[in-house]
A = this chain, B = another copy of it.
Amino acid sequence: MESTILSPLLDRVRTVRPLVHHITNTVTINDCANITLAVGASPVMAEAPEEVAEMVSMADALVLNIGTLSAQQVGSMFLAGEAANDRDCPIILDPVGAGATRFRTSTVMQLLDRLEIAVLKGNAGEIGTLAGADAAVRGVDSGGIEGDPGEICRELAERLGVIVGMSGPVDYVSDGTRVVSVENGTPMMDRVSGTGCMLSSVVGAFAAVSDDRFLSTVAAMAVFGLAGERAAPRAKGPGSFRFKLIDALATMEPSDIIGGARILSL
């Protein structure tokens, strides 16, 4: 896949400035808002049952992240998700910690069952758990998985009828037929809380401006990884990496992208 897909989609996010509605965790909610602004979109966070469907009616993408899940939040996710489905607003689901507790795993299963999810984006442990692979999850950290990660994504995508994105040292994206790997990124990503959540926000911004959610997810993962690659050499630790990642994404130019993306069709 050519990296020439990336720059037009990023331009389109910046021109359209899609509204990305989040129902997300309290740990990284601020990072999600700021990375959404950095990529060129507009964030909104709302989850009160009194308003959540009305707010979704303006949104161009909906990101559901279960990082600090509560029963009340599950209810709001369904209200928001149904409103999103009614108007073909794409839903991105980040199953943070699926596999760590039954509450998280079963909530993700229900969301996948009752809503039409456009993109399921998780780490290896989370995607592996949902795929029924032999996967390790500890808290919200991914352990390893047994098996071919690209094939695990493909089978899960085919079974669920969604785009599956698996983040890690190498990212994988599948629509159930095609599988690509994205080798952009930096080990610093794992040393900052919330880079996975931020990636889901970027996936949401890209999904909002393209009907091809396989392509938009690949583009989002490559662009976010490239921002990390630009930020890492300039950082003196995870504290400075975090703000430099936001700076790098906000100031990314077409010339930074061309030739930088490492996307392989598998």
> How many copies altogether?
3
Q: Are A46 and B68 in contact (CB under 8 A)?
A: yes
Q: Are B33 and A193 in contact (CB under 8 A)?
A: yes
Choose, from A18-26, A162-170, A214-222, the stretch at the interface: A18-26
Take A44-B139, A97-B44, A139-B21 as given contacts and tell me if A51 and B239 are in contact as well, using a CB distance cutoff of 8 Å.
no
> What B residues does A236 contact at CB under 8 A?
244, 247, 251
Q: Are B250 and A246 in contact (CB under 8 A)?
A: no
Q: How far is the CA of A64 from the CA of B79 in the complex (A)?
A: 27
Choose, from A2-10, A84-92, A101-109, A152-160, the stretch at the interface: A101-109
Q: How far is the CA of A1 from the CA of B54 in the complex (A)?
A: 43
Q: Are B139 and A51 in contact (CB under 8 A)?
A: no
Q: Are B193 and A37 in contact (CB under 8 A)?
A: yes
Q: Which of B103, B194, B244 contacts A30 (CB 8 A)?
A: B194
Produce 1/0 per residue, A129-153, CB < 8 A to B.
0000000001111000000000000
> What B residues does A243 contact at CB under 8 A?
239-240, 242-243
Q: Are A44 and B250 in contact (CB under 8 A)?
A: no
Q: How far is the CA of A134 from the CA of B192 in the complex (A)?
A: 41
> What B residues does A27 contact at CB under 8 A?
29-30, 33, 45
- Is A100 part of the binding interface, using a Cβ–Cβ cutoff of 8 Å? yes
Closest chain B residue to A237 by CB distance?
B247
Q: How far is the CA of A199 from the CA of B71 in the complex (A)?
A: 31
- Is A34 part of the binding interface, using a Cβ–Cβ cutoff of 8 Å? yes
Q: Which of B29, B31, B140, B242 contacts A26 (CB 8 A)?
A: B29
> What B residues does A104 contact at CB under 8 A?
51
Smallest distance from the beta carbon of A16 to chain B beta carbons, Å?
A: 12
Q: Which of B28, B48, B71, B237 contacts A103 (CB 8 A)?
A: B48
Report A81-123 residues with CB < 8 Å from chain B CB: 97, 100-104
- Is A208 part of the binding interface, using a Cβ–Cβ cutoff of 8 Å? no
- Is A211 part of the binding interface, using a Cβ–Cβ cutoff of 8 Å? no
> What B residues does A71 contact at CB under 8 A?
48, 50
A-B contact pairs, 7 of them (CB 8 A): A42-B138, A45-B68, A48-B68, A48-B69, A58-B139, A238-B246, A239-B243
Q: Which residues of A contact B (CB under 8 A)?
A: 19, 21, 25-31, 33-34, 37-38, 42-48, 50-51, 54-55, 58-59, 67-71, 97, 100-104, 138-141, 191-194, 235-240, 242-248, 250-251
